[in-house]
Structure 1
Amino acid sequence: MKKIFGIMLLMMLVLSMSAIADTTIKEKKLPAFVVAIAEDAPASDSVLGTNIAVELKKAGYGDLPVSTFKLFKDVQRGGLDGRVILVLYKGEAKIIVGSDLESSGILFATDLATILKYYSVDVGQIMLSKETSSDLISLFEEGHVEDVIITKETVKCVFEDSSEKQECYLDEQNEIGCSGEETCTVESIGVKGTKQVWKSTCGGYAYTVLDGDNEYAEFDCGISIPEKIDLVIKELEFVRKSDKLATIEFDVVNAGLADVKGSFAMAVYINGELTTHTAYHGYDNELDAGESMHRSLSNYYWLNNGEYEITVVVDRFEGGEKDNPVFDGFYDNMVKESNEANNKATISVNNKIVHHTFDLTNYPELFIKNGKFNGYIVVGDNAPASDVISAIDIAQSLQLYDAGEGQIDVGAAKLASEISDPYAMNVISVGNACTNAVSARLLGDKKIEAINRCSQHFQKGESTIRLFNNNGNAQLLVAGYGEADTRYAAKMLVNYKEYDLEGMEVEFNTIFPVEDSVEIEILNIPEPTLYPTTPGEVSPSLPVTATCNNGCLLEDTCLPFGTRLVDNEVAKYCAITKELVEQQAKEAQCQNNYECSTNQCNDGACGSLSEELEETRGMLKQVMNWLSGWFN
């Protein structure tokens, strides 16, 4: 039960991270990253994973993407390459770096190891996927050793013939570097023997090898870079988001031969008129030769039915952070001086307003109000870990929904016991009727009947995404026969943009029929007698003896192993020694539930399920109250 509290805490804190902003930290590049949590994870593992996510955001890596937190089995199924994996298991941690992203991955993994050390968790040696067992549990077995050497060295960048301040940085992850007029130094760390590629703002490349010896990276800064660069607008598109909201999407491409760093401005014209409120100007943008950046200009609330001609223009401008080109006529000059077609693009749009219908084609709009999630994501009080991770994924996918105002805030998660009437609000309920009381209500089960009927709603391999409409409120059921089936339905909902969800219900079946069935003939073979007989002769009866081969004998009755009973006011059980043994007290060592007087054996020790449930509910309540403060 404590593991459920831990993972719920993880979910709620991850969702709240979008409300925590630290604008003083320079944003860093987050590689493909996964936090692996064991199926039997204790609360401490989940809390540690949550703390790491918060610290990574503080360090400049931003919010974690959807599906960062996974169970061991899901990570092992997907392989270890192509990502950095933080493996948590009973207070210990290991870091695995995919072999195809060693340089950038090691830099991130080093930050990760530093954060873990702050929480008194020593990860030991950072491991590479090509030298690591895919059995994650085995990484924590005694004697497990990985032969990987991490080294660091100082690189001195030299800017020859430079008359101004330059920057030197790693090509793979350009926030790792230094700056100076003639020289600067930077500390590099990674797997010994790794080749590293360095770049500078004056152009060119330099190469070093991580071997522990300090090295030089030299650049010729005497090469002149043309002032006029070739910025191009491509992939201009008008995208409708809702009845009164649209965005203009496009790519800005550096089609020149030189890298460029500076300030860019983009102006949008509707039917020939400048719309300054949608203009974009950015500072310290950087585009390598041939590189592109995607831009999305939103807040077109004033659009009505009709035809529009949309033009987007891009150019550079000279000015500091406080100089806004909107107020000095810069945008007008951009269009007047733009005689070439390469730095502007025009499209024609016939805008038609479409009113939404109440069905799955309009998910998640049915749960969005004024740019915010309007409802609750609900899991059962005793939900399995996979249900909670499914809820995490759904919540994070909603954070990425473009409402025209940036990321939306996702409301507080709720336990099923905290929802008195699911029909009076918008609800996304994760889990079947056996694990989630709200799902049971939506499926028509009354509280008294739910225990007996919960498994009757699905056949093996079946799952569903089902929408309900009650008094104008939307209730969405994400459930299946078992944990894996619910997880499958949740993944379909998370990736709603890629699937055609329509109508009020979409059903899935993960069990496929076998094409060729083999008929098996069952032979009726008579059991042999214990005594030899001749035809017509009846086998003699077996002698009656008071024996018990598979249990404990009590007054001519054979009790199966594990049977519990009270003998002379003493609680006992039938042990494998074929003897009645007294049940053990709380905290005593055990292997099976029946060995304990509390009838509960957890992690090799007798415990009390009722006490753990009470403790967990109390902790959950405190966290829920804390989380609600983020969204009020």
Structure 2
Amino acid sequence: MKNKILGITLLMAICLMSVSVAQAGCSEGICCDKDLWAKLSENEVHTARANNIEYEIEVLVISETSNEAKFKINGEITDALSEGEEDTLADGSVIEVKKIITDESPSKVIICFDYGILHCSGIVGELTDGETENYVVGNYEYEVEASVYQGNFRLQVNGEYTDWLGIGSEQTMADGLKIKVLDIGGDHITFCMTPGSEPTTQAIPTVLETSKPKRKIDLSNYPDLFINGKSLNTDFVVGDQAPADDVIAAIDISVSFQKYGVSKTGGARLASEISNYNRNIISIGRPCDNAVTAQILRTNGISDYDSDCSYDLRPGQAVVYLFDYNGYAHMLVFGYSRLETRQAARALTFQKMKGRKQLLEFGEGMPVPETTATEQETCWTAVEQFKREMIEEYDSKGLPIPEDIMKKYEEMHARCAGARTAPQTYDRCISEYESKAREQQITWQNYPEADRIRKEGLKVCGEKFGMPIPGPSRPAEEIAECMKEIEKFKRELVEKYDNKGIPIPEDLMKKYNEMRIRCTNEIITPERTAPPVIEDRKEDCPGCRKNGACMQIGIRFLEGDAPVYCDIDHAFKPQKQNSEVCMNNYECLSNTCSDGVCQSMGEQIKGIQKELAEQKGILEKIMGFFKRIFG
């Protein structure tokens, strides 16, 4: 019987302790607008954990004569506080005395407590939605942009996105930079950045702002005008509705900088994104296609209007302008037609120029060249870059892709798909499969699918052209030894190319893949029989097709005014409203699928609040039960 009474007494004590501390709100007739409500006795120690920080709150003394209380919080002693007074600690946390109770034994004090921000041993940053700021952390500079969607924040750090973040969230970026969220308000996020323990020595900071050229602004100093050390020092600009040829021309120029030792090049920006002209600019495309080209011509007293868009140029001609704008270099590249614009972009790599204007002539009446395999690959490079930018700007942020942007992507895709190609060879056959594999690997991070495509390519192309194809698996001990050689070769590729921001050459990637296949498979060389039959193979699409373009599963965009998504059955479907049944976030218009139904963030918060209220109600019922038992 004594044991039973003792057990009930202990249970009652546990329940009493459980309600002596609560979240912000009202209890025992005393309301609290801070993070924690607590009723503590003299010499009692309460431990609370918030935002990955542990707080130890000790009541040092409760004075009956002065009606004051003093506390020690994480080793820091507060002032003697009367009812209604508060004290702010070094880390920003605040303690407030709500009521001192001296007619109980022992004496008690009711407090409210606000947790401070998390400790940061690095650099503290604070951004609002859409704001971009540059921070120097350790030896590197980082461009950080914040974005919010339905109350959640994420950061873009030198082009790399974090996950959606909450208070106390921690994430390590690719170069070792550590990010910890200190606080999140309605429209702002406060975070801490510390360098990794072993920062990547080859990391190259993103070119954040262009600087004025150190050399005289003259075409004879191209490309040095647009290079700063080993980094690109300019923006490439194309028109908002630029034809695919202009985009490809911009990429041709950008890639050409690699031969001058530039290890980090950039992609094209849209004319509408340029509002500040105090920067170096290479603008590609005719004034009728590119608003920035037109604006720069007007600024320098040259008419940007021409009824037929030829600007006094004849077939086979292009022009390169160079202007000085407040010490910055503005270069324009355009031709009689889009074809001459592309030819001018290629000519910049070998054409000697001087002065501020250079007329380029490629031969009047020169026939339009066939689209070679190299040009077609460049065309697909432009498409892939546009796709990556489209996904980063919209889909990765949970936003539907606008219809005009999607239409432009489809036009670029259709143009490349319709280009004439050279007769197929074994190398071209392998290259086509490798392009598909690298898309899966680089764009979608789908490594198993990339491996499958490469193996299929070796088999199909080997059978078609009588070349080696994969055979049965080799013994594990042989594979282990072979893989050591693979890893060594891989490290060499990464150190020589990837860490410096230089694309790994296609022939070396091919060699790497062939070595990997040889490690895991024996090679079988089929007998040569009749010449291979060249067949047109339709591109495999793991997602949904739209006007010939392959879209990934889960991508969302506007079809007219209706938001749709690509489902796993390779069909586009309307996005679902709140409360509809779902399995994935992308199915929901709110981009939030929780407990099998589409929900808004507001509904999730209401659910949490309801759950807390129910827990509080249960505790009050238990207290009422013990009051009835023990009077």
Which TM-score tier does this pair reach, normalised by the shorter chain?
A: under 0.3
Q: TM-score, normalised by structure 1?
A: 0.23
**TM-score normalised by the chain length of structure 2:** 0.23
Per residue, is there more helix in 1 or in 2?
2
Select the structure with the greater relative contact order (CA < 8 A; seq sep ≥ 6): 1
